[in-house]
Structure 1
């Protein structure tokens, strides 16, 4: 029997998804109205211990709204990571603001030491505003990404934000379910520590609505404004009066029905992903030249993606591993190309981008779906133990 194909990350739809979606269809509430939207918002907010949640079409839309509710304008700059998916940064340009790219640390999240150094040495803090010495523009926010379900150092980020009067936007699109186990923010979930956070329910995320996102906050004014902007800024429901430019960013009832069933299984998914991660980690540490990057020990991560680091001691380089695994019917991928190297951002300001370049050359993601079987993991490990040139 030929080996089945092992995808990188696919949905796990084995709960009440069909039941809820069927109910939405049978009651004919399939568009942007319907009880499932409200229930999904409320239960997501309850799960992550936020005051409220506002659903939207995807994580990118959520970040677009997050920047606006934080009152970022074309006159401002936003500090962002370079090692992330480009959708985290594009919304900064949607509103005409400019990004400043920051390096990562060994967790692949934003380097907070460089962030502080940049604020102290490359900027002036005057009258409550952080001013970029190079451009004389007001840096108004830091947009932090919790990469692969790891948690950025929110303790230091929030301290820096308080010191320099910065808004904090959490791109938690990969990190729903991740929370602190100890420290200042013990029990706090990724996405609800800063001013506003955003989750994604894309098809490859730990829970999915096919496409979809969620904005969360503990600030009721932010939540109210996010709801207003995502529903076409309608100030009069009956007479269709709109008081500003809004967006058709609403989630459909069908998506929310799917998401509600997925949310019910989130902790189960995390437990399975942890088991598989531990299995990978223990076996791969015996393979010379390969390492599974760890998650921080002060958090309960959601284990969304597993990052495999290959150094020069391994017979194959990054690209050769990807091709070799594919020949064995195993899907893997490199991490994202650094955003400051992408054509739309070549002229953007950067600050000491070093580690991100190294990780780009050496890291790949390997299969991590929540429905991945133990025998699948063992097969991937066995292939990695016996590398071949393709």
Structure 2
């Protein structure tokens, strides 16, 4: 008995990506439906909808760089299945530097600097060249820069954004790469925002159709200091979001934290972390200090919020993951989890699997 296409689509929209990829081998009808770009977009939209039981996931590279390991955070922290890496990218300079709509942005310095946009679920990937003036790795600076990848819905395009400080000129530079046009462009106004060198590499935080980092503001209309810099996907411009109180960050270690519809910042002093969330985007007075159980340990850094209102933290020394609290309450909920195949440079990014492909004008490799 053959199921009607409409019913088959309804069933498939409820299934995880891994099952759908396996089902492509069942018959031509199933393969055709699952391979349809329209179905891939619909499946992704359903998976990330607030009404869907969306499990916050984290992705990191194994220490032998043979695979990307996926960690689910709900109802408890546990490993999901791993994704195999392409043989050509397996080396110790490989790092995850961004994630968007099921694609992961990788940076590889050997044998020469290159960026890779990779869908772990489907295996498709494309190489993103460094800017022409950066063949010597001057841009982005190997040690200090901001980076990320976003989706521009109006043009069905993916943009890779990078900001650095040129080592010789000490001048900030911000650029974005369009996958559809296969070209880099400079972001106007970037000279007002110097990437926060003390933080080293920063993963961008996606929220409200923009991607965010911490940077030093050099403009004339606001006191010089650390702020949140936002790259607006639609206008391709940079703007500033002031930090919550206290505004003097010299005694604090700062990091952005998001996920599950939250936009927040962690401010860590010598003894204790504090997390502020912004209730109304870009409204400075809407920052509030959240009331929840937090680790009394300055070796912990926040990774993400979960749908259930917890915060997942990572111990920077032993790389253990710990889930704390209930957002908005003092309920004591704590769970510890040890990462496998983890090294000292491990980076974890929020990740959602997808069947999505890159724009048709882009030459993807399988």
TM-score with structure 2 length normalisation?
0.25
Task: Give the number of the structure whose residues are more often strand, by fraction.
Answer: 2
**Greater relative contact order: 1 or 2 (C-alpha under 8 angstroms, separation 6 or more)?**
1
TM-score (norm 1): 0.24
